[in-house]
């Protein structure tokens, strides 16, 4: 234990004195949050994924969904009709959903006859602060207008209603966990892969092998060090986001547990890459080749459901996706169950990488 | 352990240091097989690997404390200062290691290798690449360590270094030890005791001398004639007195390990490289 502490202290001093280390730990996430905070204050109009619960099932509701699909603004995905929509939204960390009510078809039929008693409300569940919300509302309004015109020409048979989710939350609340995810990945993965290459090239591994420090102790000390500085980084980034943009997402106990889990995963992956990399320059290149696609494809910058289907499949193979999802589940949606599942996935992948890295890494000459 | 680059010095030392697995054979230190249980030797052995570089962003004081921690040793501030004083780094103890000179970095490396107060200290080419002053400084430090009772196992390709520092020299060539003994013994066994130097005499003189049956070599325009004893020296002087020499100077010097190496390997060693 004392050797691990000595290594944390010695390595930590070196890391924090290197300008690159200090930049990526503290300045990088703050820059990202300030930059994207400013950019995302404007809304976009991309095609958004819209989960729909059809409680009716009549030909009228199917026709309405066709109209919604024809807007080309949304990508419809169905929610099981027997699910409680608020629980479903929470359990699946959704930020947007549409519900077509029971008896939708019969009320439309009544309206077309002589018993018109006002429009049937289809309910949009969503967060008004999100850029995707405006797109969804526009799609539902356009579908309603078209549906009404096609059936009655004059009567407003269907109209959208809005049920707010996470009122007061901003896009940045959803973005913040992504920034933390990127910070955890870049610090742990990029640092460890190039540190391993540098240690091998400059003979530091040989030097360490002459001491009593064992390989697993060195691995553990890196994991502990990165966990500590990344928790500090999370707290700093959170404080800046909160002060500059008034974000409402919260730091939970689970989010503080997610950070060491992420550090464990990406430190282990960095070491695993470091086993094969011979020099620091190659370390940076390989880490970038793996890290950058992961950064963009794992939902750090924008929601996964805005990506094409095949890229969503790719995203599911990336460990950062589960880390980001876990953080969002606990910090934004309050979905503890979902966060724990993502946490377990991160830990399991981390153990696989750690096992492989500790088996394959050698400080000695073979 | 003296030998040219590529002779196998570092490979041998790294096997002894537990840093490299031998392909065959055994290696023992203090009666312990290093391939089987090196951990028991860590308290007794200090190591300065070849081309040692300290961690750039640590000051010497911090590096010593860090290294002590990795040996489970608690050092007080005064013990740290005392160790740095011993290697003559007191004035540079608060400078980041990346700003130390090459010689200072090696001194720091030696300080780290002394943290566990070893009985046996491996120094793998500690002076390679250093300027002459830094090299002499390190020689003084190594001599001081030796005088305090630590056995120093030093590898080098500097003949002068081996001759000056070593009690016992092993000359390694192509992975094998070709000679071993004290510098004086090696010179006695494998060299002539004295060399007559005909400074600037050149190749014409060399040819004439050899024509008279005298063994001689040429080095940078100087003609070197080795002799075993005063009797042989008199004979040689008589033989060459009839030759018209254009030497700048004629003098004698004692042979060194350089001559021994030349006799054993058949080539000279310059900065570790063999030259015919």
Task: Find residues 27-86 of chain B whose CB sits inside 8 Å of chain A.
Answer: 39, 42, 47, 49-53, 55-58, 62-63, 65-72
Task: Quick: pLDDT tens for A89-124.
Answer: 877 878 788 999 888 888 888 888 777 778 888 888
- Return phi, psi of residue B55, to 5°: -70, 125
Q: CB of A362 within 8 Å of any CB in chain B?
A: no
Residues of B in contact with A366 (CB under 8 A): 21
Write the CB contacts of A115 (distance below 8 Å, at least 6 apart in sequence): none
- Domain of residue A70 covers 48-164
Residue (of A110, A146, A147, A104) closest to A123 by Cα position = A104
Cβ B9 vs Cβ A166: under 8 Å: no
Torsion angles phi and psi, residue A123, rounded to 5: -100, 125
In this model, does residue A40 exceed pLDDT 60?
A: no
pLDDT score for A257: 92
Residue pointed to by tokens 């030797």: B41
Which of A17, A203, A210 shows the shortest C-beta gap to B51? A203
Same domain? A151 vs A179: no
Sign for the CA dihedral angle at B100, B101, B102, B103 comes to: negative
CA B10/CA B15 separation, integer angstroms? 8
The verdict on A22 and A75 lying in the same domain is no
| pLDDT above 60 (res B115) | yes
Q: A364 at the B interface (CB within 8 A)?
A: yes
Last residue in a domain, options A115, A134, A164: A164
pLDDT band at A340 (very low <50, low <70, confident <90, very high): very high
Min Cα distance B28 → chain A (Å) is: 17
Residue A8 touches partner B, C-beta closer than 8 Å:
no
Cβ pair A104, A64 in contact under 8 A: yes
Q: Quote the minimal CA–CA distance from B15 to chain A in Å.
A: 9
Q: Which of A5, A15, A366 sits opposite B21 (nearest CB)?
A: A366
Distance from CA of B91 to the nearest CA of A (A): 21
Please tell me which of the candidates B21, B58, B70 has its beta carbon nearest to residue A13. Answer: B58
| Nearest-angstrom CA–CA distance, A110 and A113 | 5
Query: How confident is residue A166, by pLDDT bands cut at 50, 70 and 90?
Result: low
A144 lies in the same domain as A285: no
Mean pLDDT of A35-48: 58
Residue A268 domain flag: yes
Residues in chain B: 276
The residue ranking higher by pLDDT, A309 or A177, is A177
Residue A288 belongs to a domain: yes
- Disruptive mutation site among A191, A210, A213, A225 for chain B (greatest number of B CBs within 10 Å): A210
Instruction: Report which of B235, B228, B11, B239 is spatially closest to residue B125, judged by C-alpha positions.
Output: B11
Q: Considering only CB atoms, which chain A residues are within 8 Å of B62? A: 10, 13
Cα four-point dihedral sign B179, B180, B183, B188? negative
Give the residue-averaged pLDDT of B115-123. Answer: 91
Give me the pLDDT at residue A43, please.
47
Domain final residue pick, A137, A164, A191: A164
Mark whether A174 and A157 lie in a shared domain: no
- Whether the CB-CB separation of B60 and B93 falls below 8 Å is answered with yes
Under a CB-based contact definition with an 8 Å cutoff, are residues A217 and A7 in contact?
yes
Q: Distance (Å) from the C-alpha of residue A237 to the closest C-alpha of chain B?
A: 26
Do A256 and A327 belong together in one domain?
Answer: yes
Sheet of strand B120-124: strand arrangement: B45-48, B120-124, B151-155
pLDDT for B276: 63
Question: Is B68 close to A13, i.e. CB distance below 8 A?
Answer: no
Residues of B in contact with A202 (CB under 8 A): 53
Residue in chain B closest to A3 (alpha carbons) equals B70
Cα–Cα distance for residue pair B195/B229, rounded to 1 Å = 10
Tokens of A292: 């950058």
Q: Do A3 and B57 touch (CB under 8 A)?
A: no
Instruction: List the single residue in A14, A18, A212 with the smallest CB-CB distance to B72.
Output: A212
Q: Number of structural domains, chain A?
A: 2
Phi, psi of B20 (to 5 degrees): -145, 140
Over residues B173-183, mean pLDDT: 87
B45 forms bridges with which residues in the sheet? B120
Please count the CA atoms within 13 angstroms of the CA of A194 that sit on its side-chain side: 17
Q: Per mean pLDDT, which range of A3-12, B79-88, B109-118 is the poorest?
A: A3-12
The β-bridge relationship of strands B176-181 and A48-54 is unpaired
Is the domain of A138 the same as that of A212? no
For residues A191 and A284, give the distance between their C-alpha atoms in angstroms, rounded to a whole number: 8
| Length of chain A, in residues | 366
Mean of per-residue pLDDT scores for chain B: 85
Question: Per mean pLDDT, which range of A141-145, A184-188, A283-287, B131-135 is the poorest?
Answer: A283-287
* A196 and A322 fall within a common domain: yes
Report chain A's mean pLDDT, rounded to a whole number: 81
Residue A207 lies in a domain: yes
**Calpha distance A238→A232 (Å, rounded):** 10
Q: What is the mean pLDDT of residues B243-263?
A: 79
The more confidently predicted of residues B169 and A366 is B169
The per-residue b/e assignment along B185-218, b for 16 or more CB within 10 angstroms, e otherwise, is ebbeebbbbbbbbbeebeeebbebbeeeebebeb
Q: Given CB atoms, is A1 within the 8 Å cutoff of chain B?
A: no
Closest listed residue to residue A9, CA positions, set B111, B115, B92, B69 = B69
Q: DSSP code of A305?
A: G
> d(Cα A62, Cα B116) in Å, to the nearest integer?
81
Asked if A31 and A73 sit in the same domain, the reply is no
Q: Which single residue is written with the structure tokens 């040793």?
A: B73
| Contact indicator for A156, A117 with CB cutoff of 8 Å | no
Instruction: Give SS3 for B109.
Output: helix
Q: What is the DSSP letter of B97?
A: G
Identify the pLDDT of residue A42.
46
CB atoms A210 and B69 under 8 Å: no
A5 touches chain B (CB under 8 A): yes
Q: Which domains does chain B have, with CATH numbers?
A: 9-181 (3.40.50.300), 192-265 (3.30.70.860)
The answer for residues whose C-beta is within 8 angstroms of residue A63's C-beta and 6 or more apart is A147
Which residue is closest to A209 within chain B, CA to CA? B19
| A 143-202: CB under 8 A from B | 202
CA dihedral B207, B208, B210, B211 (to 10 degrees): 110
Nearest partner of B105 among B143, B77, B71, B63, judged by Cα:
B63
Does any domain span residue A366? Answer: no
pLDDT digits (tens, 9 = 90+) for B16-50: 988 888 888 889 999 888 888 788 888 899 988 88
- Residue B35 is predicted with a pLDDT of 83
Task: Indicate the range of A254-263, A318-327, A356-365 predicted with least confidence.
Answer: A356-365
Question: Residues A218, A343: one domain?
Answer: yes
Domain termination site, one of A164, A181, A203 = A164
A229 in any annotated domain: yes
Residue from B13, B69, B115 to probe the interface with A (highest A Cβ count within 10 Å): B69
ipTM above 0.85, yes or no: no
Does B56 sit within 8 Å of A7, measured CB to CB?
no
- Can you give the pLDDT at residue A167? 61
- The torsion angles phi and psi of B42, rounded to 5 degrees, stand at -60, -30
A19 touches chain B (CB under 8 A): no
> Do A289 and A257 reside in the same domain of the chain?
yes
Give the Cα separation of A176 and B133 in Å (integer): 57
Q: Which of B20, B52, B69 sits opposite A10 (nearest CB)?
A: B69
**Per-residue pLDDT for B192 more than 70?**
no
If contacts are CB pairs under 8 Å, which of residues 305-334 in chain A contact chain B? none
Helices assigned H by DSSP within B21-174: 60-70, 77-86, 102-113, 132-147, 159-165
> How near does any CA of chain B get to the CA of A190, in Å?
19
Q: Residue A10: its chain B contacts at CB < 8 A?
A: 55, 58, 62-63, 65-66, 69-70
Nearest to B19 among A5, A14, A364 (CB): A364
Question: In this complex, do B49 and A210 lie within 8 Å of one another by their Cβ atoms?
Answer: yes
Within this chain, do residues A330 and A198 fall inside the same structural domain, yes or no? yes
CA distances from A185 to A143, A260, A300, B115 (A): 42, 11, 11, 37
Cβ atoms A102, A56 nearer than 8 A:
yes
Query: Which residues of chain A from 211 to 240 reach within 8 Å of chain B, CB to CB?
Result: 211-213
Same domain, A66 and A94: yes
Per-residue pLDDT band at A6 (split at 50, 70, 90): confident
Contact between chains at A203 and B69 (C-beta distance less than 8 A): no
């Amino acid at each position: 234990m004392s050797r691990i502490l000595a290594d944390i202290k010695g390595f930590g001093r070196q890391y924090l004195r290197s300008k690159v280390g200090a930049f990526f730990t503290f300045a990088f996430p703050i820059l990202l949050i300030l930059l994207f905070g400013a950019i995302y204050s404007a809304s976009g109009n991309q095609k958004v994924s819209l989960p729909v619960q059809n409680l009716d099932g009549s030909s009228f509701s199917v026709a309405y969904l066709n109209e919604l699909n024809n807007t080309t603004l949304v990508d419809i995905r169905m929610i099981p009709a027997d699910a409680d929509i608020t629980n479903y939204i929470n359990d699946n960390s959704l930020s947007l959903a549409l519900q077509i009510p029971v008896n939708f078809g019969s009320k439309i039929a009544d309206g077309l006859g002589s018993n018109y008693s006002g429009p049937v409300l289809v309910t949009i569940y969503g967060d008004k602060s999100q850029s995707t919300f405006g797109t969804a509302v526009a799609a539902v309004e356009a579908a309603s207008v078209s549906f009404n015109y096609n059936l009655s020409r004059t009567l407003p048979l269907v109209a959208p209603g809005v049920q707010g989710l996470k009122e007061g939350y901003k896009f940045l609340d959803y973005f913040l966990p992504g920034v933390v995810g990127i910070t955890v990945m870049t610090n742990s993965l990029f640092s460890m892969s190039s540190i391993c290459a540098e240690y091998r090239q400059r003979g530091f591994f040989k030097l360490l092998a002459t001491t009593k420090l064992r390989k697993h102790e060195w691995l553990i000390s890196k994991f502990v060090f990165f966990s500590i500085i990344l928790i500090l980084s999370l707290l700093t980034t959170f404080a800046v986001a909160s002060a500059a943009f008034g974000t409402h997402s919260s730091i939970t106990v689970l989010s503080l547990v997610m950070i060491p889990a992420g550090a464990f995963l990406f430190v282990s992956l960095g070491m695993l890459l470091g086993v094969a990399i011979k020099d620091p320059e190659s370390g940076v290149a390989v880490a970038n080749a793996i890290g950058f696609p992961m950064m963009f494809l794992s939902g750090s910058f924008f929601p996964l459901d805005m990506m094409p289907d095949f890229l969503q499949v790719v995203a599911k193979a990336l460990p950062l996706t589960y880390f980001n999802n876990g953080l969002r589940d606990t910090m934004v949606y309050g979905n503890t169950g979902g966060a724990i599942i993502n946490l377990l996935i991160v830990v399991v992948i981390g153990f696989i990488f750690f096992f492989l890295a500790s088996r394959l890494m050698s400080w000695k000459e073979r | 352990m003296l030998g040219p680059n590529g002779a196998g010095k570092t490979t041998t030392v790294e096997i002894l240091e537990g840093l490299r697995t031998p392909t065959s054979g055994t290696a023992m230190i203090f009666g312990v097989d290093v391939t089987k249980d090196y951990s028991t030797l860590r308290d007794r052995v200090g190591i300065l690997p070849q081309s040692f570089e300290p961690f750039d962003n640590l000051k010497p004081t911090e590096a010593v404390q860090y290294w002590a921690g990795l040996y489970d040793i608690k050092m007080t501030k005064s013990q740290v200062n005392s160790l740095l004083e011993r290697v003559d780094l007191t004035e540079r103890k608060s400078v980041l290691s990346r700003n130390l000179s090459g010689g200072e970095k090696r001194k720091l490396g030696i300080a780290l290798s002394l943290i566990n107060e070893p009985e046996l200290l491996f120094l793998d080419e500690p002076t390679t690449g250093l300027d002459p002053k830094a090299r002499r400084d390190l020689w003084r430090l190594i001599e001081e360590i030796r005088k305090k009772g630590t056995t120093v196992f030093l590898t080098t390709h500097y003949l002068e270094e081996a001759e000056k520092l070593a009690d016992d020299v092993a000359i390694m060539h192509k992975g094998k030890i070709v000679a071993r003994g004290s510098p004086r013994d090696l010179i006695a066994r494998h060299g002539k005791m004295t060399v007559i130097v005909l400074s600037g005499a050149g190749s014409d003189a060399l040819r004439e001398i050899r024509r008279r049956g005298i063994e001689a070599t040429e080095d940078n325009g100087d003609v070197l004639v080795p002799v075993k004893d005063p009797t042989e020296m008199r004979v040689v002087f008589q033989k060459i007195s009839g030759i018209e020499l254009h030497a700048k100077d004629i003098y004698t010097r004692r042979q060194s390990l350089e001559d021994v190496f030349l006799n054993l390997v058949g080539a000279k060693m310059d900065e570790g490289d063999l030259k015919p």
